[in-house]
Structure 1
Amino acid sequence: MSGLPPGNFIEQLSDKEIYWRDRYDWLLESGYRLRPRYKPDWVPSWITNPQLFFVDCEDSLTNPRGIICDAIRLKDKSQVVLKRVNKTKHQNELDIHCYLSEKSDPKNHTVPLIEILNPEDCPSDSIVVMPQCRAWNTPEFETVGEVVDFIGQLFEGYKYLHENLVAHRDVKKENIVMESTALSEEHFHIFDQDFSLDLTKKVSPSKTRTEGKPRYYIIDFGISRHYEGTENPPYEITRMFGSDTSVPEFRNLEEPHNPFPIDVFCLGKMIYRKALCSKAETLGFEWLVPLLEDMTRTDPASRPTMEEVVTRYGELTRGLREGKLRSKFALDWDTMDWFDHATRVIPHWWKRMCFTVARTPAIPTYRPD
């Protein structure tokens, strides 16, 4: 017996999962292999082997989102994410992603676009292929310098978007990801980054951010807009807004607003609340607070542009000493007992000494202009 009630939803594909099952063979011919659950002849492994308990089986994991699905790219065995995009509703998303991906610039932090597939049996859809990335905050940041690098890359990325007259319009922590292969080449499960692709063993990055120098990417251009030069700055009335409904401009959606200062507001708020957990002053980032406060001013005209943000951030980071940059970034430091302190401090100081001797930069990649 499977240990599940008859007709349990885990043993049945949802409508959104059926979409991927029906294109398993076509995707395989296109060079991408989906997980076993989506094979046309799939039978749950805990049914074929009654000795297995379903919660221990990888193919018991359902796809909670539906519009995305992970796969292995056969060409190089890399992990990728496939995103289903309805061209009728979201052609704008495809156009913006393609437009940004065509531009080669180290300060372009748009998630790479590997290719776009067009299923013949569903002409209204395109399938966007992108590298599978990690959440930006796992594993935890180890040093102040790594966080400085993360924030610097974000500022660069959003400045680049704005320079190209692209307003993201949905800045939030879920729409920032980290290049995964910089920290480890080992495959991990899309729904549980701490486990292998088949869920049989725990996996963890083999490098720190200081060693691996990962890039951070901006994703999801579903409600983004690309404006013409004649619209700079653009003002529009829209009832389409992102996840952060605290934006002052959204108090009255009947008034036209400029979307670029909204990006600045959401980015400043996200960094302060999510990256620095609303305690920048106790984490070694008191020097950044005035800039974040300016980015989140109520009056959009009083907020700095992303160009001004990048300039000010560069001036602030140039004054940081190496000792501060290599110091430990510990969100829960004050709540640890003496044993946890010891087990974290000793490895930290050993790595710090090794990186200093090897002259490994304290800020992995970001360099102010």
Structure 2
Amino acid sequence: MSDGKLVYLKKVGTESQELQILSYLTSEEMRRDPRNHCVPLLDVFPDAFEPDKAIIVMPFLRYINSPPFERIEDVLECLDQILEGLVFIHDQGVAHRDCAFKNIMMDASGLFPRGFHPIMQHKLPDAQGLAPVLSRDTIPIQYYFIDFGISTRFTADMPKLVVGRNGLDQEPPELSQTAPYDPFKLDVFLIGNIIRRELHAVSAILSHPEANNERS
């Protein structure tokens, strides 16, 4: 309300592991670590109608390819931040377990000097015209891990194993409701899928734009 910036509201359980993990990872102490690429937790307030629920407030983010990558350097910067953020999360004993494409996003607010509509994101906030967009090489972009709904935080004496098949990406072969598996290795597999599915092809195009133009 004070600065007019777009935010995202999400309802979670007051005792949920998601709230506990996000609160820990975005605490003042954790935010001091430059490797921390967890979505900032701006506020938490109780749900007025459900006492066992809370509303968490986070920045309004966009998919990492919206707007599209323009240079190979943009892709590499995105990948650097993703890998750095994954190492940070794992160093805190947290396995994300759902770090698929839609759960790694970016703060692109700086790219839109006149803002953008939260639904029709190519338009101005009043939806009356196209939103001007700057190049990524002019504005530093921050990439963030979001949605810790099925994440697990382990203490030093806990076995680093889980069960469960939930998650956006169902390709990992170890997913199981009964056979325990290593969720940290799962995270690595999921990030690998983002690279293979989302970043590799665009990197090839940006590295050889003349070939892409010939095909067009």
Measured against aligned partners, the alpha-carbon deviations of 1:280-323 in whole angstroms (never above 9, x if no partner) come to 6x447xxxxxxxxxxxxxxxxxxxxxxxxxxxxxxxxxxxxxxx
Partner of 1:239: 164
Per the alignment, residue 204 of structure 1 pairs with 132
Hey, what does 2:154 align to over in structure 1? 227
How big is each residue's C-alpha offset from its partner over 1:228-266, in whole Å with a ceiling of 9 and x where there is no partner? Answer: 1112x6123x2243122111212x542211100000001
* Matched AA of 2:124: S
Q: In the alignment, which residue of structure 2 is the partner of 1:96?
A: 21
Structure 1 alignment gaps of length 5 or more: 1-73, 285-326, 337-369
Taking the aligned partners of 1:132 and 1:185, their CA distance within structure 2 comes to 15
The change in CA–CA distance for 1:82 and 1:329 in structure 2 (over 3 A counts) is farther
1:158 partnered with 2:83: no
Please say if 1:273 is aligned against 2:153.
no
**Secondary structure of the residue that 2:184 maps to in structure 1?**
helix
SS where residue 188 of structure 2 aligns? helix
What one-letter code is carried by the residue in structure 2 that aligns with 1:96?
A: I
Partner residue in 2 for 1:214: 141
d(CA) in 2 for partners of 1:113, 1:133: 13
8 Å contact from structure 1 (residues 144, 329) kept in 2: no
Name which one, 1 or 2, has greater alpha-carbon Rg. Answer: 1
Structure 1 residues 257 and 75: alpha-carbon distance in aligned structure 2, compared to 1, 3 A threshold? same
RMSD over equivalenced CA pairs, Å: 2.1
**Runs (4+) off by over 3 Å:** 327-335
SS at match of 1:178: strand
Which letter maps to 1:268?
Answer: G
Match of 1:136 among 64, 67, 73: 64
Letter aligned with residue 49 of structure 2: D
Q: 1:143 touches 1:328 (CA, 8 Å); kept in 2?
A: no
TM-score using structure 2 length:
0.90
State the Cα distance separating 1:330 from its structure 2 match: 8.6
Cα distance in structure 1, aligned partners of 2:123 and 2:212? 24
Return the letter of the residue paired with 1:86: G
Match of 2:99 in 1: 171
The residue aligned with 1:249 is 174
Could you tell me the TM-score, scaled by structure 1's length? Answer: 0.54
Paired letter, 1:198: D
Gaps of 5+ in 2: none
CA contact (8 A) 1:142 1:330 kept: no
Normalized per residue, the structure richer in helix is: 1
Q: Contact between 2:117 and 2:124, CA under 8 Å: does it hold in 1?
A: yes
Q: Pick the structure with more strand per residue.
A: 2
Q: Percent identity?
A: 32
Residue 123 (str. 1) matches residue 51 (str. 2): yes
- Report the counterpart of residue 306 of structure 1 in structure 2: none
Equivalent in the alignment of 1:82: 9
Provide closer, same or farther for how the CA distance between residues 258 and 328 of structure 1 changes in structure 2, counting only shifts above 3 A.
same
